[in-house]
Structure 1
Amino acid sequence: MTKTIAIIGSGFSSLAASCYLAQQGNKVIIYEKNESIGGRARQFKKDGFTFDMGPSWYWMPDVFEKFFSDFNKKTSDYYELIKLNPAYRVYFGINDFVNIYDNLEAIKTTFETIEKGSGSKLEAFINQAKSNYDIAIKDLVYRPGISPLELITPQTALKLNQFFSNVSSDIRKKFKNERLIQILEFPVLFLGAKPTKTPSFYNFMNYADFGLGTWHPKTGMFDVVRGIEKLATELGVTIETNASIEKIIVENKTATGIIINGKIIKADIILSGADYQHTETLLDEVHRSYSEQYWESRVFAPSSLLFFVGFNKKIENITHHALFFDVDFNQHAADIYDQPKWPEAPLFYANFPSKTDASAAPEGMESGFFLIPLAPGIKDTEELREEYFEKIITRFEQLTQQKIKNNIIFKRSFCKNDFVTDYNAYKGNAYGMANTLLQTAFLRPKLKSKKVRNLYFTGQLTVPGPGVPPALISGKLVAELIHQSLRS
């Protein structure tokens, strides 16, 4: 029998879940509070410039292929991919940088020029990372986080020690050069925790980086959003925007509908891909699975200060993706996780999509996206935003040896307060809840409500964790749970 399923939010996990649920024969409707779909992966356009507002790294292409193959489709049916070379550049000082190329042999050569003997060590390290990747991404992450037994397999038993050591210590046992160490520690930042707090098993992110490479959808990450939206509509999914949820209706401990703009909308199943903590505030307190004390005790991934900038000239000495590690990596991490505050000297990331995609900026111009990781929940003011833009743009000019401040046509900032306003993000977090040992798999908030029947969750605060590929997987996992419940 066809069931009506109401999905809250239209981020990657919601869109993915909608496809699976529609494929099962359900009537699926997505309700998005904003005027555009995509959640954090929305797109911003102004004066001929185009920006992805959130995710800008396309890693783990195999996860995307696996998603589309579940519907007998390929990614190429919906968007075109370009492999970046160099994948990215890491700046350590003035005209002092390391390029990470698009294949392991070239990266080994780069490592060898910096630290003698590190090329062969890197190959062994990446081989181990690939072994972990095969276990994690092809198996463990496709488990719904219901039981600790999900983590116990013959393969993980052989790697048990890697769950009790950390990424940073493992890397430092093998490499001595601080630059190489920082490059190898960088990928786990996508998991939202310090390398010293991330289990060694998660070094599979290094294989995602050096083994599988960095890709770019032809006109940006929003291509992927559009692609999954197209698949969803082909499967019969309906999407309504400007539809902010005011309440989840619960009768006899069962979710029966939602209220939008004072209107009651009945549904057999409610699935929220919106912020988990916010979703529970749409319930009466008696129906909430997690208390405010619970959320306060969690380790959250960073928030971010973002700038979307239009330049009236081409920017030199820069690649599509660039990381600026010319300041103390550990101090910035401490300012996020240990004693949360605005960092005195922030690391930052810059992305110039117009280096790859000419349509991202008018001819002869450049679109630039800048990101500073910040602690969630800190003070956010326009004055602080301006102060920090001045800090990073001054360093950018020094490190790339060019003047660009006077070539800015416009800039738009987006920070903690905007994450709260636009996404109802707890403490304005940008990446969800960190993947620390005590927040992994079955220790994360559950896909299925513990107190309300027919209420489910998906996305970065639940299983398997932060990032776009995990979001697609989260959508699949919750759809399978819903399917099982409807069959029982």
Structure 2
Amino acid sequence: MIKQENKISIIGSGFSSLSAACYLAKYGYEVVVYEKNKTIGGRARQYLNDGFTFDIGPTWYWMPDVFEKFFADFGKKPSDYYKLEKLSPAYQVYFGKNDSIVIPDNFQEICDVFEKEEKGSSKHLIKFMKSAEDNYDIAVKDMVYKPGVSPLELISFKTAVRLSQFFSTIRKQVRKKIKSEKLIQILEFPVLFLGAKPSNTPAFYNFMNYADFSLGTWHPVGGMYKVIEGMSKLAKDLGVQFKTNVTINSIEVDESNKVSGMQVNGERVETNLILSGADYHHTETLLPTKFRQYSEKYWSNKTFAPSSLLFYIGFDKKLKNVCHHTLFFDTDFDEHAKTIYDNPSWPEKPLFYASFPSITDDSFAPENKEAGTILIPLAPGIEDTPKIREKYFNIVIERLEKLTGQKVRDSILFKESYCVNDFIKDYNSYKGNAYGLANILTQTAFLRPKIKSNKVNNLYFTGQLTVPGPGVPPSLISGKVASELILKTRK
């Protein structure tokens, strides 16, 4: 019989929560996961409509080694749960009408693409990527698995000799040798996964370029939700229980500053340890005021990664001149970025990203039809109305038609939108952010909100608002780090 002190409640069922649930169950805890929506997966849910399938949230599968490491910790492989295909090409970037660069699926061909665009640039790219690989080995294989408890976690000989990279930026590093604006944008693009501007992101984070060009872009057949299904099957096999359609109304703390229970759908549930993978700010609002670590002022002063306006579209034909992942960088990135980070507002000329998974995977759309997801990054907390959404839908469809040289509007069978208000409603997301806290220098590692509450002895956090940061692979890592900290502090 499992002792009462070995029972753990996890709030939320996104990647970080599922990861933590698996590890904690492996360590011998009885784990129950509580999810407010009707299906598990957090932001990584699915939208199904008339034979079409859409990943509502993440659509990129990068850093496959992190997924492999996760499953290996349980004696498994990703292939035990889902099939992976490497995308070839990896993605396409549009800079103007009939003006695009296609990124191949191997580094030598990428060098050839760079050389064709700017003579001599491949030499600089090779040197840049060597630095990126070295940083990847330090960051992703070591640093990101630290719990963010102390600044000493970042200090080693390897990081000391790279100290200058923490005080320079990706933008400065990329622009030292490369002159082509197109190539610069391609090299600056991966740090958008960290939720910050290249001008604010430490140069050390060029390891994302290694993830891009060397490790490649992959696709789980059936979509990212297949990863969720795989992780949930592993969790269930380890004894984890899932409860969906539940709302956590409050968290109760006893006189010894310990969690004693939760109000779940209006009924009290006893628990003596909570790990929240839900929005950090929202979770703290479930506590009595005196037990909240971070004030409203604290959160309002933080730099958040973007929110998004998304459109899920069913097309009545196959589209031309696009790849599975297609980026539209035909407008000024810096001007768009200002509306996200400097002056929160709707961008006049937005950059956008489109995913057409049915190009790769027939399961996403009926025969001779196309499933498309379009995403515009936005400042969290801005006004969100049906009228504004429609305005921006027209903008991106017109640009899509113009840039790719084809008519698509008349072939739209349906569209569904998702924006700031939906992130708040479905995920209790602070200001409707989509990706958590940006990974800038002042919000790195021990400078992020803590995994362990310093006011409630048995309350912990995981996910994109704590260590290590935004993205799916970091969320898997966050779940492991949180579970290990629980194990260490509970001994």
Same fold (TM over 0.5): yes
Q: Distance in 1 between matches of 2:248 and 2:360?
A: 38
Aligned length: 487
The 5 A counterparts of 1:40-59 are 40-59=43-62
The 5 A counterparts of 1:358-373 are 358-373=362-377
TM-score (norm 1): 0.99
AA partner of residue 32 (structure 2) = I
The 5 A counterparts of 1:248-259 are 248-252=251-255, 253-259=257-263
Which residue of 2 is the match for residue 165 of structure 1? Answer: 168
AA partner of residue 464 (structure 2) = Q
The 5 A counterparts of 1:73-152 are 73-152=76-155
Give the conservation status (yes or no) of the 8 Å contact 2:20–2:479.
yes
Residue aligned with 1:41, SS: coil
Residue aligned with 2:422, SS: helix
Q: Distance in 2 between matches of 1:461 and 1:486?
A: 23
AA partner of residue 324 (structure 2) = H
TM-score (norm 2): 0.99
Residue aligned with 1:79, SS: coil
AA partner of residue 369 (structure 1) = T
AA partner of residue 120 (structure 1) = K
- Where structure 1 has 5 or more consecutive residues not aligned to the other structure, the ranges are none
Residue aligned with 1:371, SS: strand
Q: Distance in 2 between matches of 1:365 and 1:421?
A: 31
Q: Distance in 2 between matches of 1:171 and 1:359?
A: 39
The answer as to 2:310 corresponding to 1:306 is yes
Q: Distance in 1 between matches of 2:272 and 2:485?
A: 14
Which residue of 2 is the match for residue 386 of structure 1? Answer: 390
AA partner of residue 447 (structure 1) = I
Aligned-residue identity in percent: 63
Deviations 1:294-335 (A, max 9, x none): 000000000000000001111111100000000111100111
Q: For residue 261 of structure 1, report the CA deviation from its aligned partner.
A: 1.4
Q: For residue 486 of structure 1, report the CA deviation from its aligned partner.
A: 2.2
Deviations 1:244-286 (A, max 9, x none): 1000111021112211111111112101000000000000110
Runs ≥4 residues deviating over 3 A:
none
Q: Distance in 2 between matches of 1:93 and 1:151?
A: 42
The answer as to 2:249 corresponding to 1:246 is yes
Q: For residue 340 of structure 1, report the CA deviation from its aligned partner.
A: 1.1
AA partner of residue 23 (structure 1) = K
Q: Distance in 2 between matches of 1:257 and 1:118?
A: 60
Aligned equivalent of 1:272, options 271, 276, 295: 276
Residue aligned with 1:393, SS: helix
Which residue of 1 is the match for residue 453 of structure 2? Answer: 449
Which residue of 2 is the match for residue 66 of structure 1? Answer: 69
Which residue of 2 is the match for residue 407 of structure 1? Answer: 411
Q: Which moved more, 1:260-269 or 1:19-28?
A: 260-269
Q: Distance in 2 between matches of 1:285 and 1:408?
A: 49
Residue aligned with 1:138, SS: coil
Residue aligned with 2:69, SS: helix
The answer as to 2:326 corresponding to 1:349 is no
Q: Distance in 1 between matches of 2:122 and 2:204?
A: 21
The 5 A counterparts of 1:224-239 are 224-239=227-242
Deviations 1:43-98 (A, max 9, x none): 11010000000100000000000000000111111111000011000000111100
Q: Distance in 1 between matches of 2:107 and 2:89?
A: 12
Which residue of 2 is the match for residue 376 of structure 1? Answer: 380
Deviations 1:420-451 (A, max 9, x none): 00000001000000000000000000000010
The answer as to 2:216 corresponding to 1:213 is yes
Give the conservation status (yes or no) of the 8 Å contact 2:315–2:371.
yes
Q: Which moved more, 1:253-262 or 1:299-308?
A: 253-262
Q: For residue 120 of structure 1, report the CA deviation from its aligned partner.
A: 1.2
Give the conservation status (yes or no) of the 8 Å contact 2:258–2:272.
no
Deviations 1:195-214 (A, max 9, x none): 00000000000000001000
Residue aligned with 1:430, SS: coil
Q: Distance in 1 between matches of 2:340 and 2:468?
A: 23
Once superposed, what is the RMSD of the aligned Cα atoms?
0.6
Q: Distance in 2 between matches of 1:173 and 1:343?
A: 29
Deviations 1:106-152 (A, max 9, x none): 00000000100001110110110000000000000000000000000
